[in-house]
Amino acid sequence: MLKKLISLCLFLNLIITGGVVHANSVSSEQDSTPSVTDLIGSQESYGVSASHPRAVEVGMKVLENGGNAADAAIAVSYTLSVVEPFASGIGGGGQMLLIPPKTNKPVVYDYRVQATSDKKRGSKKSGVPGFVKGMDAIHRDYGSKPFAELISPAIDFAEKGVEVEQLLSERLTGAIQRMPVKDLPHFYPDKKPIKPGETLKQTELAKTLTKIKENGPNAFYKGEISESFIKAVPYVDKKDLEDYEIQKPEPVTGKLKEWTVYSASPPLTGVPLVQSLKLAEKMNIAETKGDEGRFTHLMTEISRVTKNDRIKEIGDPTFNKIDVDELVSDAHIEKLVDNISPSKISTVTEDDGENVNDSNTDTTHFVIVDKEGMMISATNTLSNFFGSGKYTDGYFINNATEHQFSTKKDSPNRYEPNKRPRSSTTPTILINGERAIGIGTPGGGRIPSVLAQVLARHLYLDESFEEAVRAKRFYGKDEYLYVEDGFPEEVKDDMRNRGYKVQAKHLSVYFGGIQALEVNKKEDTIYGIADLRRGGTWDSKGKNTYTVQKGDTLWIVANKYETSIDKIKNLNKLESTDLYPGQQLKIPEPGTSNTYTVVSGDTLYKISLKLDIPMSELRLANPQIENPQWIYPGEKLNVP
């Protein structure tokens, strides 16, 4: 009788969670992983990291006005749909990973695009969008501010206009062949892409968002907007829209030696990312520090074997039984290790049968943490940039059905009615006893590889978060290794000797654009990362960091914050005084006298050039120096 009862409970659990088995999951009561609230403590800090400055401003304002991370996430999502209409919007979907305050049990909201109820895929491009219902569900469960207040900034940006950034103009240029240019005079004035610096107004989108503001999701799924959608995409019928439901699957959870990783649920790429980090640990990737060729090869091999595993094992869990715990178990990692070539390229690559354009680079990712310790990591997308290119009621419609299902009949990702296709988006949160990191990136099929590279550098090679993000990236596919501009020549030669065909990719966003926030209990800070490849930014309350501007020197920054050059150098582990625009500097407490420590080879003249301070001012500030040549390594100089 007891066995029957246990079997029944397991069966019911399988129904509730779709086809994902989490038999070995550790309950939050047994788990020693702290909550983000534990790490924030009493500092009442909060922050936002996103790919567009207007979105960061909106999110921060919501938090400043007493809203929580869920409120800010809704406001940021709608704002990004306006200021980056190529990357996300109400015609697409996404997935949001949310850790509520005072708990280490994360929640996932899956509002991704779903196939229609039609049994045949045919030439369909688009699926049923989930964005609007997703935002509504998150608001109902965790929102504290009125929805109208949260969507209003996006409506204002659409109506009054927003300054066009370089990336939007470039994306309009790249998509011109598949866009209804004549119907988009606001995007293509005189049939040419709008230029950076000009103002983009989207009055039709403002009207659509106003209807959603006034009538909620029914405006999109049942009202006039739905009728326009069906007219634009006739193979989606009224019932498809009305029946769409968001899902709340369990995240993928992985235990590293010092971290707990929560990542995107299937059919997204949380499993490959957790596998990649566990493989990096298993293969002791830390030993590759200082050997970029070996690091590049092993991480490329790890990316290959995890992708192959994903192709064989991962699909929509509603249609496939997936034992997630088994796929990230130590025993399974051991099996994957056997498929990794330690020194030479492997050429065994599974055919996924998918029609994904390798040039796809666009989704949008953001991370938010509030003063109560709720942390959110979310990725929204239209699939390709501008989705299918179809445009109605002021927004673009996704092309998830065209690009993301497999054509192979035996694939777990084959097309089926009402199914959600695989996606490479990977919203992730990592936590240990001292820190919590929310992280993600756009970048198409390269997303799990990019995240694994950055995290492996930071967690195992002891590189600072900023160094790990700045490091030149790579991506292996079949016999090719695609590398970023500026990739070291000696490493390219090493990779050729290992059997790779090395090719440069000149588009920086091809390799993603990391957005991240780190809560650091020991330093009592919230620190952000905004990848310059995508032009993102971040902000936090009590932000004790500074973004370097063109023309800045350490002297300028130290004076600005009334601290010392030495303290800035030591806190940021700077090996030189050289700065670059966009660099993030942690700022020490103010009120410290400004000093510089002499290093070997320094002269007063060299120091004046280094700090961009007239030598006469240095002499006045250091009357103890009788002769400019009489300075010695370790000596402290006052800096005016």
pLDDT of 5 higher than 50: no
Instruction: Kindly report which listed range (8-22, 80-94, 264-278, 452-466) carries the lowest average pLDDT score.
Output: 8-22
pLDDT at 426: 97
Q: How confident is the model at residue 547 (pLDDT cuts 50, 70, 90)?
A: confident
Quote the pTM value. Answer: 0.85
Beta carbons of 365 and 378 less than 8 angstroms apart: yes
Average pLDDT estimate for 460-485: 93
Rounded Cα distance, 631 and 368, in Å: 48
Going along the chain from its start, the domains and CATH numbers come out as 1-161+201-541 (3.60.20.40), 544-638 (3.10.350.10)
Rounded Cα distance, 107 and 25, in Å: 14
Beta carbons of 451 and 261 less than 8 angstroms apart: no
pLDDT of 626 higher than 90: no
Retrieve residue 462's tokens: 């002891």
Instruction: Note the pLDDT tens digit of each residue in 200-242.
Output: 999 999 999 999 999 999 999 998 999 999 999 999 999 999 9
Q: Categorise residue 475: left if φ over 0, alpha if ψ from -120 to 50, beta otherwise.
A: beta
Kindly report the backbone phi and psi dihedral angles of residue 406, in degrees, each rounded to the nearest multiple of 5, phi listed first: -90, 145
The catalytic residue positions are 363
Average pLDDT estimate for 344-361: 72
pLDDT of 42 higher than 90: no
Residue linked to tokens 């779709």: 18
Q: Name residue 438's beta-bridge partners.
A: 429, 517
Instruction: Note the pLDDT tens digit of each residue in 298-343.
Output: 999 999 999 999 999 999 999 999 999 999 999 999 999 999 999 9
